[in-house]
Amino acid sequence: MKIHARVALVLIVAAAWGSWPFTPRLAGQEPAGKVLRVRQTADFTVNGSGDASAWRASEWEPIHLRVTDGQQYQTRFKVLYSKTGLYVLMEAEDRRITATMNEDFLDLWNEDVFEFFLWPDERYPVYFEYEISPLGFELPILIPNFGGQFLGWRPWHYEGARKTQKATTVLGGPKQSGARVTGWKAEVYVPYDLLKPLQNVPPRPGTKWRANFYRVDYDDNKNTSWDWARVGRSFHEFTRFGTLVFE
C-alpha cells in the first residue's frame, strides 16, 4: 500500500513521540532567546555577491565566535522570504580558503563552511540542514532527530522547482583551494518545494520558524566555529535554536 510522504513522516514521528523529551512551544506563545524578523521580498536571482536591491531592506545579523581562542573573524548574515522560498546571504572575514571537496553532498563541515538549520514546526523533531563551501558545493539534507540520535536524508527528485539556487564569491583572492583571501560570501535560495513534507510551510506574515546559523573555519589548523543562537557541543541541539518571525 502506498502512503503519501507527508503521512509517512507523521507516522514516523508519532511512533517515536513517546521517547522524545521535548515539549513544543504552544501556539501564540512568545519565543525566547534569539529572534530575527524576516521581511518579505519579490523573487530575485542569486549571484553570490549579495548586490540585489532586495537585500537593502534587510539588516545584517552577527554570528558570534563560540570559543575565546579561535580566529577573530567577523561573520554575519541576512534573511528574506518570498512567496516561493527563503533567501539567505552570509559573509565572513577569512585569510585562507580551506576547501578541497569538489562535489555536492560530501562532509563539508570538515572544511570551511557556512551552515543554516530550519525547523519550521516544533511539533515534530525534524528540520532542514544546509551547508555551503567557499567553492560553491552544497549539502542540503533533512534531519530527523530523536533524543540526539539523528542522521541526514538526501532530497529525492532534487531538480526543477525543488532545487536550490546558490552561488559564492571569494574576496581578495581566487576562488580556489588554499588561496590567500580576505573573506567570502554565500547566497542561497531555498524553495519551499524542497522543504516538503515539513509542516508550517510556506510561511505567512506572523509565522514563526526555529532556526540557527553557523560557520566553521580551519585557518592555522584550528577548528573554529560560530553560532547565532548559542548551542552546546553540537550544532544539532535544535531546542536551543533561535526564532525567525516572518513579517
pLDDT tens for residues 205-238? Answer: 999 999 999 999 999 988 999 999 999 999 999 9
**Does residue 21 fall inside a structural domain?**
no
* Domain count along the chain: 1
**Does residue 16 fall inside a structural domain?**
no
Give the CATH number, domain containing residue 167: 2.60.40.1190
User: Which backbone phi and psi does 55 adopt, to 5 degrees?
Assistant: -70, -20
pTM of structure: 0.88
**Does residue 135 fall inside a structural domain?**
yes
| Domain enclosing residue 91, as ranges | 32-246
**Does residue 195 fall inside a structural domain?**
yes
Give the confidence band of 5 by pLDDT, cuts at 50, 70, 90.
Answer: very low
- pLDDT tens, residue by residue, 83-101: 999 999 999 999 999 999 9
CB distance 178 to 97 below 8 Å: yes
Indicate the residue type of 85: G
**Does residue 43 fall inside a structural domain?**
yes
Distance from chain centroid for Cα 114:
8
* CB proximity list for 50: less than 8 A, separation 6 or greater: 78, 89, 91, 169, 185, 187
| E strand segments, the chain | 35-40, 61-65, 75-81, 85-93, 113-119, 126-132, 138-146, 149-150, 165-171, 183-191, 208-217, 224-227, 242-246
Q: Which of 14-28, 65-79, 224-238 has the lowest mean pLDDT?
A: 14-28
Calpha distance 40→58 (Å, rounded): 10
**Does residue 170 fall inside a structural domain?**
yes
- Roughly how many angstroms between the first and final C-alpha of the chain, as a whole number? 41
CA angle (243, 245, 247) in 5-degree steps:
165
